[in-house]
Amino acid sequence: MSNRILASILCGILFGIGLVVSDMVNPARVIAFLDVGGNWDPSLAFVMGGALIPSSIAYAIKRSRSRPALDTQFHVPTSRSIDTKLVLGAALFGLGWGLVGLCPGPAIASLVTGRWETALFAAAMLAGMFAYRIVQSGQSTQLQLR
Amino acid sequence: MSQLSYIWPLSGGLLIGLSAALYLLLDGRVAGISGLVASAFGWTGAGVSPLGIGFMGGIIGGAGVAFAYIRHAELTISSSPLLLIAGGLLVGFGTRLGSGCTSGHGVCGLARLSPRSIVATGTFMAVAALTVFVTRHLIGGVA
């Protein structure tokens, strides 16, 4: 197994521990954080705040590096255009997140609990991702035909 | 909120940020879970990604260890099956259409001050908060 894959497993483990420790995996907690008009629980703001500290440092370090430790180049998105896809996609995601209280990381992490609710949500999430893939490849086929 | 209740979310957040930091500096990539999950199934147009599979497996393993040895929290899920399906479809389709979720846009995008991520994060946070307001306070009993 390559070092790159080992690194991704290690990062996944840290991420999974972080999601459980912060209680980000708990839909009731997430809903309470989003419930700014009700009995607001601000604790999850510390998750985002805490996560941004190491993350910002790493992105600052990246500026002085030509390549990451285990790859020949960085693969960080460079697009800066704010388009309908971005805003509509974020809005649909926000709607689903607000309805249930699970975003993709917690949806995957909570599979380990064996609860049917999280399995159903994760299956539907994968179906949604697959549906996007179908729509996207349909569009690119149309472009090629044109 | 008790005085010490910020310790858990802060510690968890630091771990998530450490994960994103290491993934950038080691593998040179954005730790965005929606993209990683799609790549694990080969739905990003670049074939099945071993990195995506590894990251997903790591998340499940790490969460299992944390539930067993660090913080056993009981998840409270109040959504009906229909709502779980609708929410899952919206989260899956929306994160792919919008190129990211809480981690890719929120944690990684904000850290590098990406204008796209700032707009996306503002949008999904606002829509999610509005959704909670509507379902919990206006038309109660839906979620």
Asked whether the beta carbons of residue A34 and residue B129 sit closer than 8 angstroms, the reply is yes
Mark whether B82 and B23 lie in a shared domain: no
CA-nearest of A43, A18, A113, A123 to B77 is A113
CA nearest to B87 within chain A: A96
Instruction: Write down the pLDDT at residue A48.
Output: 96
Task: Yes or no: say if A16 and B63 are a contact pair by the CB < 8 Å rule.
Answer: yes
Q: How far apart are the CA of B140 and the nearest CA of chain A, in angstroms?
A: 12
Taking CB atoms and an 8 Å limit, are A52 and B111 in contact across chains?
yes
Report, as an integer, the average pLDDT of B53-61.
Answer: 98
B62/A14 touch (CB, cutoff 8 Å), yes or no:
yes
Would the CB atoms of A18 and B9 count as touching at under 8 Å? no
ipTM score for this prediction:
0.95
Statement to judge: residues B9 and B44 lie in one domain: yes
Q: For residue A70, which amino acid is it?
A: L
Domain ranges (residues) in chain A: 1-144
Question: Is B101 in the same domain as B137?
Answer: yes
Q: Which residue of B has its CA nearest to A4?
A: B27
- Separation of alpha carbons B52 and B42, rounded Å: 9
Which residues are registered as beta bridge partners of B58?
none
Residues B70 and B95 in one domain: no
Chain B positions touching A125 (Cβ under 8 A) are 37, 88-89, 91-92
Nearest CA-CA distance, residue A64 and chain B, Å: 11
Structural domain harbouring B105:
78-142
Cα A6–chain centre separation: 20
Shared domain for B13 and B63, answered yes or no, is: yes
What would the pLDDT profile of B1-54 be if each residue is shown by its tens digit? 455 689 999 999 999 999 999 999 999 999 999 999 999 999 998 899 999 999
In terms of CA atoms, which chain B residue is nearest residue A107?
B88
Pair B66, B112 in one domain: no
What SS3 string covers A37-55? CCCCCHHHHHHHHHHHHHH
Query: Domain end: B48, B75, B102, which one?
Result: B75
Is B80 touching A (CB cutoff 8 A)?
Answer: no
User: Are both B66 and B115 inside the same structural domain?
Assistant: no
The answer on pLDDT for A143 being more than 70 is no
Dig out the tokens for A34 from the structure: 């989003």
Tokens of A10: 């290690």
How many Å apart are CA A118 and CA A25, to the nearest integer? 10
B86:A99 CB<8 A: yes
Structure tokens at A130: 């697959």
Say whether both B105 and B70 belong to one domain: no
pTM of the model: 0.95
My answer on whether B1 and B57 are in the same domain is: yes
Q: How many domains does chain B have?
A: 2
pLDDT digits (tens, 9 = 90+) for B61-83: 999 999 999 998 889 999 999 99
- Let me know whether B71 and B82 are in one domain: no
CB-based contact A34 B51, cutoff 8 Å = no
* Residues, chain A: 146
Q: Is B83 found in the same domain as B66? A: no
- The answer to whether A15 contacts B64, with C-beta atoms less than 8 Å apart, is no
A124 in Cβ contact with B84 (< 8 Å): yes
Q: Which of A9, A16, A120 sits opposite B66 (nearest CB)?
A: A16
Position A144 pLDDT exceeds 80:
no
Of B49, B75, B101, which marks where a domain is finished? B75
